[in-house]
Structures are given as C-alpha cells and as structure tokens.
Amino acid sequence: MIIKEDEWGNEVEVPDWKLVYANEYSIGSNEYYNAAVNGLRPEESFEIYSFEYNKEKKFKYNDEEYKIIRTQGKGEKIVLIGEKVAGDG
C-alpha cells in the first residue's frame, strides 16, 4: 500500500500492485472445510518465490482482488491462499 491524496486532499491508502510469476494450485477439500469452520472462504492459491512476498495483505488475479488469509512457507517459495474481496457495488 502507498499513501496518496484523493481529490479532496485527504491521504488515502492505495494498492501498489506488482507483477510476479506464480504457480496456481487448487484449494483442497481439507483446506476449504478447515477454513470454513473459521468463517473463511479460500478461493485461490498461488506459489511464488519468498523474496517477492513482503507481507502484503492482498493480491490481484484476473482483475479480482483477494485477501491473503493464510501463507505457507516452502523453502525458497511461499504459498499464498486468498479469499475474494467483496466489491463496492
């Protein structure tokens, strides 16, 4: 996130998206049901290089925004599991 001024001069946080290459994985039934117990809905899972992840809270895929609900380190790579962020409309 970066801080910018809106049209009224207020400071607002704006996503600072960066492009990274990732391997897409499916969400397994165990992952899905364990998350559902906690009120979460995992929908996308991606593996990226650990050095490209800086504790971001969201990622974007196919113009959809996802909140990172869990990460799993795997050596030099990390898996990000996300649930879709509801739109404003």
What are the domain boundaries of the chain? 23-84
Contact between 79 and 69 (Cβ < 8 Å): no
CA distances from 13 to 5, 10, 66, 77 (A): 9, 10, 17, 28
Over residues 4-30, the pLDDT tens digits come to 888 898 988 887 888 999 999 999 888
89 band by pLDDT with thresholds 50, 70 and 90? very low
Cβ-contact 82, 53 below 8 angstroms: no
* Helices and strands, number each (H, E), in the chain: 1, 7
* Rounded average pLDDT over 25-36: 85
Length of the chain: 89
| Mean pLDDT, rounded, for 80-87 | 89
Quick check: 52 pLDDT over 90? Answer: yes
52 token code pair? 């490209």
Q: Which two tokens mark 68?
A: 């990172």
Q: Is the dihedral of CA 62, 74, 42, 86 positive or negative?
A: negative
Q: Is the pLDDT of residue 2 over 70?
A: yes
